[in-house]
Structure 1
Amino acid sequence: MRALLTPLIQRELNLVLFRPGTELLPLFMSGRVLISNEPNFMKSLPAGALVDAQQTLAEDPTLTGFFTDERVIAAAGQVDRLESWLQQRDAGCQWPDKDFHMTEMTSLRYGKGAVRLCWHHDHKFRGLAMDRLGEIARQNLAEWILDTVRIAFQFPEHHQITLPELCWWAAQEDLIQAIPQGSARRVLKWRPLETPSGVMHESDIEPIYSATDVLVEQAKPVLALAIDPEPPESFMLRPKPRRWVNENYTRWVKTQICAGCGNQADDPHHITGYGLGGMGTKPHDFFVIPLCRQCHNELHRDTHAFEERHGSQLEMLVRTQDRALSLGVISTGKLK
């Protein structure tokens, strides 16, 4: 049970009073109660009981378009997976009225979502159009998608998915374009978009940048690899080696934590030795690790002493590349 209540503050006594009414009184009978600030999307709701929800983002009306997007539903596993998720939850018929309920449960597809009903109400409502069923179906759809995100990130069962986490999942699934403009502006910490009114001069009109497009640009991988199994050089008897250069990747590496001391890195160090590089040339830009200036100088003064103290450069390289792959900095590209 959840409720949205207005506090009555008694400053002289340092007390806060609530008037829940008879309907909400059981909320306070089971012991301690969690008190939280009112989210922005609830400011327009009247005080009183709220629909129970596992994830608060499921109630955000600005995200309705995202949760009902066909691409998002497909990425989460289609409606068949939603129906299985509904049947696995430990709950009965979702029709809220206190009339006759059977113990046998089934699911009724409604709109783009589904509702868990007992056999009695499934027979009673199948084929009917009802706003109440649509509201329950949309709530189920949103909570299922958010639970899919939670499982994908291996969060604990009661973890509340945040908007940045939802956007990161959308980025991994190539769904950033489905994020509504208002939500994208909140993630980017832009002020809400204001609709101009009244008479304006043409010179006063300012361009409005798409927050979703900015997220798409930021979500692009730093390095997109394309694999060519038959490059022209592979057919040559003595091919001329070419050094691979990528400033975007080395720029990302230098923003990471120093692989030696753990402080902020300053340089992308091309690892030395191990048969990499050549006469008068550095290794490829792919073989770099983040180092601060002090560790970088220490390594070049005495590589053996540096590795004795901090570990092998190859181990640091593997950790750097593993992090780049895990964060989506490196992704699989396509040959054009």
Structure 2
Amino acid sequence: MRGLFTAETVPRLGLVLLKPGSDLMYLFQQGRVLVEPQPESMEGLPSGLVPDARQPLAEDKSLESFFTDERVIRAAGGLSALNLWLERNVKECQYLHSDYHHQELVTLHYPPGAILVCWHCDNQLREQTTTTLSELARSNLITWLISSILTSLGYNKERELSLGELCWWAVYSGIADAITESMAHRALRLPKEPFLSVYRESDIIPMPPAASILQKKIQPAVTASRFANVRNELIVDEQPKVLALRADPESPESFMLLPKHRRWVNEDYTRWVKAQPCEGCRRPADDPHHVIGNGMGGTATKAHDLFVFPLCRECHDKLHADLAAFEQKHGTQLELLFRFLNRALAIGVITKA
């Protein structure tokens, strides 16, 4: 919350008088307040509460397919997080086409998001399909996503989210595949291809996926120096950390009749795993979950560190408390592991030596 004030000074007494009003008294109840000159961008604003920064990305129609992508919604916390955001930020019924509004507010789920309406309007609008409701739900969804992304990046509502930051958040959250080709071109400022009304078949070149466009830009920055461990261990790059598996078909144990099995351990990989989005709820993960059952591990042992996928603390506790219920809701452990390993291989985190 920020305020813009017209100060009255009393030079002889060394005092400055401000009249914030009831809406901004909260600023002065938190202790110290930062004071700075008015920036040029606020010259036309009236005194009082400074509105949040305008978000042009919310008005960009070309980004609607990205904002309404289920992977993007899950990465930001899912519809449950949207419901909580609505309850905290909306104080009245959002459906203004009614003469009467009940004081009790409820969440009305409407594709692609949700809206907050009163109990009376909820009964009237249930099972209805209108363009107004769809636009309102989409606006709520995009506004919440931008707010959530700004918070995830360490910014507040006073900051305007850029397209480059939006793409970086998608990469950081593990959903780079949701970035469209046009978004990647604009974020990287690649030259536009000339438009021709007639093409020869030999001149038609398929558009590369957005992930490959980003990879071409990122790859030159990856350092070439690597250090190798003993057989079947890992090679780690400095930036970003890439794990390269190396097979040893002639290991001493492979010639033994009853070899002693060794548990494969690598803290670099598990540290990266727990930094990825939770495979259950897509919120930030806390733990690398080692697959249990399915022939993995043994008495007082864990599965190899390669057989892990990220889970937040809440989902991790639910899995160990009731494995059957967790797998019925989110899929089996092997399905989640396969999906996570497939992504790690696809984005180059796991490579061959």
Structure exhibiting the larger radius of gyration computed from Cα positions: 1
